Amino acid sequence: MSVLPILCWPDARLKQVCDPVRGDVSELAADMLDTMYAAKGRGLAAPQVGQMVRLFVMDTGWKTGAKTPCVFVNPEVEPLTETLESGEEACLSIPSVAARVMRPAEVLIRWRDLDGTDHEERMTGFDARCVQHEVDHLDGLVIFDRLPPEHREQMEKDYAR
């Protein structure tokens, strides 16, 4: 497979809402996994590689154990709690930046895999944070969009330097 170039903020494509996946995306998903692992990431959404479809790949545990890649086609995330947790997030599209982002502590994610099988899973901890981060990309959002205005402004200035 191939390692794809990753778009960097403020590329306008990172602000677009993605279209539902229609058709076979298995080659794109394989390339995205190769790209994610090469970039030492834990998740990668299709718009980060210039593909404007609702698809992301994730493997949150590969840095400390075996690779367990997962492909999420047309995912939907639903918060299961009003409790928000603050956690540090980084993004392959905003290199060298990490920000503390508030997110629901527990979510339900529904998606289809590459074989067309529907899945549903409750997630907590880093897995919940990661799927929310990746779904944000599908909705045209990056971590800067989740920050209070005063923090966002400073982080954007620091990143632009």
The fold adopted by the segment(s) 12-160 is Peptide Deformylase (3.90.45)
Instruction: Extract the residue ranges of the chain whose pLDDT is less than 70.
Output: 161
Q: What is the DSSP letter of 149?
A: H
Average pLDDT, the chain: 95
Both structure tokens of 117: 């099988």
Q: Which residues are catalytic?
A: 134
Asked if residue 75 lies in contact with residue 137, where contact means CB atoms within 8 angstroms, the answer is: no
What is the pTM assigned to this prediction? 0.94
Portion of the chain with pLDDT greater than 70, in percent: 99
pLDDT score, position 161: 67
> Phi and psi dihedrals of 67, rounded to 5?
-70, 130
For residue 92, give Cα distances in angstroms to 41, 43, 50, 68, 80.
Answer: 7, 9, 13, 19, 27
Distance between CA atoms of residues 64 and 53, nearest Å = 30
- 97 secondary structure, DSSP code: E
Domain ranges (residues) in the chain: 12-160
